[in-house]
Structure 1
Amino acid sequence: MAFPQQKFLLLCFVICSSLLSSVSSRGAVYQPPNVERLTDRFPTMPITQGMTTLFGASNIHLKNNGSFVDIVLDKTSGSGLISKNKYYHGFFSAAIKLPKGFTSGVVLAFYMSNSDEFPHNHDEIDFELLGHAKRRQWVLQTNMYGNGSVRTGREEKVYLWFDPTQQFHQYTILWNSHHIVFLVDNIPVREVINNQAISSVYPSKPMSLYATIWDASDWATDGGKYPVNYNYAPFVASLGELKLEGCITKNTISPTAAECSKNATRPSSDMVEGANYARLSKQQMAGLNWVRRKHMFYSYCKDTKRYKTLPAECNAR
């Protein structure tokens, strides 16, 4: 028979357990809001169907008949994949599990770019996962460039609400003429709205999708204070559940709507330009606000030391 004090402690344990969801590298965190699972709307393809080797072939290891892949960083090389096609707008997603252990200076990038075609005028949409230094955690950084606007970094950083080394989590880019949305496990972590203030630097040309792991010792961790320690190598990241849905094009200029409809990954792919993808739902806005309120710790729009005059879109919000 439990004594009153024991009953009270038991009740507290039950209540607290229901409020807390999972344990991340930063400790227990509150459960994120429920959101629509956009990833369920699009089919999964094997890695071997959608992507090919970019660099570091000896450090790329296909698994499960090409459905999954390990990309590795060690003393000899990093490694990376590039999509077989270029896309103009679309839905791009992969499930990723990050390396364990001391990963200072290691960067896993899942991003879109056309720098190969436009070295001085390129577009880019970035997920960059930055390895930890002293604390066992990864930082998620998002960024965007349009039309070669690299002098203005548009970085935002958030702490993840889970341990990304324990299991796979979905990282998604939705890009259309209305907005760019970065999602983690279907929860929006950032939205870039294509309005007048940002239209001149909004990504506007077809891009390839990339997944890379590499040594960013010179900048990634506290400005390069903690370089990669190869005593902890190899650093292995795993990817799978690849979803590439959009307008496939071989042109370097933006295709017309008719061309996109004709060359879409599948006939329904042009729906990413439709009303259901033009703005965030109430659930998605709640998720976005939750991330930004509880987990975001840096935004370029609040960095007055870096910018004496903030970029125009910061004042348009």
Structure 2
Amino acid sequence: MPRPMFKSAAAVAAVFVACLATCSRASRAGGFYEDFDVIWDEEHVRVTDDGGRRQVVTLTLDNASGSGFQSKDQFLFGEFAMEMKLVPGDSAGTVATFYLTSEGDAHDEIDFEFLGNVSGEPYVMHTNVFVQGTGNREQEFYLWFDPTADFHNYTVLWNPNNIIWTVDGVPVRVFKNHESSGVPYLGGQAMRVHASLWNGESWATQGGRVKTNWSDAPFVASYGSYAYAATACVAGDGASSGCPPNAAPGDAGSWMDRQLGPDDERAIAWARENYMIYDYCNDPWRFPQGRPAECNLDRHG
């Protein structure tokens, strides 16, 4: 499938990939176990060295258990990136995730979820936002590449202005801060970075019509370089708490101020036109009373 022809997006992607290889763990020399805790079935989580280029974390799902990990730190705003290589072959029913979430019933959450497929069918990239415990803000896309053949970068930028989802440096979705118009926004709850691989056969593939084929188990998703230590504000009272220097509002290029530019707007329009398969803003069955308020304020939903 063709890649978008946006020079600025390609340049951002190239710089970002180079950075991931050299600085993704700059602040924590110990690597994965310095940044993350395994929170779901340690026997299904394996950390290896990919020829000295990166640590690779593999999560395994079988009919006994899935697996997952979360960041030791909690964050209040940041730019968070993860390299992922998804479950190959017949992955129907499986869900591989990279997301941020706070704790409690009235939690905030920002999701990348990858819904497995029947062999030969495309993966579905499912994105969502929960604000104070309420979600129902899904947008879904196909991808313009095979996400099982190699690692690709998936990034969440979360700042006081907006949340931007990008794939290999190409923006695909934005959720803007419309609190001034009465729309709740994520800004009061610290969140951890999470990743998991689990069985979502009740809904993940063709609305749950296609179930997990356990004869193909174990299913494996791989996580490579990750980046957030230098681009996120650590919440809490510890010595490492606070924001890095490049988070200062008003600084040139600060991610804390970043919003969509003209090329970003065109990239999102390209993704919506060519690869979007579901948008909650255009679902009258779920919202018979009318479109959610933010959909009428922001053409991107």
**TM-score if structure 1 supplies the norm length?**
0.80
**Are residue 213 (structure 1) and residue 186 (structure 2) matched?**
no
SS at the partner of 1:128?
Answer: strand
Aligned residues: 276
**Are residue 298 (structure 1) and residue 278 (structure 2) matched?**
yes
Match 1:145 to one of 120, 126, 130: 130
Q: Which residue of 2 aligns with 1:88?
A: 76
**Are residue 315 (structure 1) and residue 293 (structure 2) matched?**
no
Measured against aligned partners, the alpha-carbon deviations of 1:135-178 in whole angstroms (never above 9, x if no partner) come to: 4321001000111224xx00000110000000000000000100
Q: Which residue of 2 aligns with 1:158?
A: 141
CA distance in structure 2 between the aligned counterparts of 1:32 and 1:78, rounded to whole angstroms: 38
| Cα distance change, pair 271–140 in 1 and its aligned pair in 2 (3 A) | farther
Measured against aligned partners, the alpha-carbon deviations of 1:90-138 in whole angstroms (never above 9, x if no partner) come to: 01111100011111110011000013xxx22110000010001364321
CA distance in structure 2 between the aligned counterparts of 1:198 and 1:227, rounded to whole angstroms: 40
Once the two structures are aligned, what percentage of the paired residues are identical? 32
CA distance in structure 1 between the aligned counterparts of 2:203 and 2:117, rounded to whole angstroms: 13
Match 1:267 to one of 245, 252, 274: 245
CA distance in structure 2 between the aligned counterparts of 1:143 and 1:204, rounded to whole angstroms: 18
Q: Which residue of 1 aligns with 2:265?
A: 285
**Structure of higher CA gyration radius:** 1
86-95 or 141-150, which moves further after superposition?
141-150
Q: CA RMSD in A?
A: 2.3
CA distance in structure 2 between the aligned counterparts of 1:214 and 1:164, rounded to whole angstroms: 18
Q: Which residue of 2 aligns with 1:122?
A: 107
Gaps of 5+ in 2: 26-30
Cα deviation, residue 212, structure 1:
0.3
| Cα distance change, pair 243–62 in 1 and its aligned pair in 2 (3 A) | same
**TM-score if structure 2 supplies the norm length?**
0.85
| Cα distance change, pair 30–106 in 1 and its aligned pair in 2 (3 A) | same
**Are residue 79 (structure 1) and residue 64 (structure 2) matched?**
no
Match 2:174 to one of 185, 191, 195: 191
Query: Which residue identity lines up with residue 211 of structure 2 in the other structure?
Result: P
Match 1:176 to one of 159, 163, 176: 159
**Are residue 241 (structure 1) and residue 225 (structure 2) matched?**
yes
CA distance in structure 2 between the aligned counterparts of 1:72 and 1:283, rounded to whole angstroms: 38
Q: Which residue of 2 aligns with 1:25?
A: none
Gaps of 5+ in 1: 1-27, 252-258
CA distance in structure 2 between the aligned counterparts of 1:158 and 1:220, rounded to whole angstroms: 14
Q: Which residue of 2 aligns with 1:224?
A: 208
199-208 or 168-177, which moves further after superposition?
199-208
CA distance in structure 2 between the aligned counterparts of 1:273 and 1:233, rounded to whole angstroms: 50
Measured against aligned partners, the alpha-carbon deviations of 1:176-219 in whole angstroms (never above 9, x if no partner) come to: 10000001101111001102346424353100010000000111
CA distance in structure 2 between the aligned counterparts of 1:242 and 1:120, rounded to whole angstroms: 28
Contact kept in structure 1, 2:98 and 2:193, CA below 8 Å = yes
